[in-house]
Amino acid sequence: MIPAAPPRLILGSASPRRLDLLAQIGVVPDEIRPADIDETPRRNEKPRDYVRRIAAEKARAVPAATGEIVLAADTTVTAGRRILGKPSDAEEARAMLRLLSGRRHRVLTALTLRRDAREWSRLVETVVRLRSLSEAEITGYLDSGEWQGKAGGYAIQGRAGAFVAWISGSFSAVVGLPLAETATLLAAARQRQPIEEETR
């Protein structure tokens, strides 16, 4: 008997970082279909609720054939109850870096896999502390352009790695995709197995 072909995997993101992270665990999507949704937070929406909702909405927005697995994720930075998404310009990024300078903040990454009518999800929370940053350091970082398209205005895997005093949690989740959780959910989705919701 010829074994059944594994289900096709669709990545609902145009992020090259997520593609690289999947490659680290030997996963290559069959196709990339970026989700196009409104990512505006709702009034009084809590950060955890927001990031879970956006990941799920991305997964549901991606067209998929029967049996295909859609993988979508969302990462946001929070300072207290404030959601720090992707800055719209350099001055907004500067304000974010000033806010995060010398203090702890949380990076929330939600992951949703959808296969037909079933969904599997995870929320991973990581605590990051940036050292105190000088205005010259912030300006130099903004001049690099690396802040563009990055939640909180920085990329931990790039030049901003020099700003990080310590981290507690998942490094890959801060980059954009928690690898251990992704592998677990992919295995469950491929086998159509139920899995308990878990946050860490």
Residue 72's SS3 state is: strand
Taking the mean position of all CA atoms in its chain, how far away is CA 55?
Answer: 8
- For the chain, the farthest-separated pair of C-alpha atoms sits apart, in whole angstroms, at 66
- End-to-end CA distance of the chain: give it in Å, rounded: 42
Catalytic residue selected from 36, 38, 74, 89: 74
Query: Are residues 175 and 154 in contact, defined by beta-carbon separation less than 8 angstroms?
Result: no
Residue 38 catalytic?
Answer: no
Buried-state track 62-91, b at ≥16 Cβ within 10 A, e below 16: bebeeebbbbbbbbbbbbeeebbbbbeebe
Pairwise CA distance, residues 60 & 96, whole Å: 30
Q: What DSSP character marks residue 2?
A: P
Catalytic (active-site) positions: 74
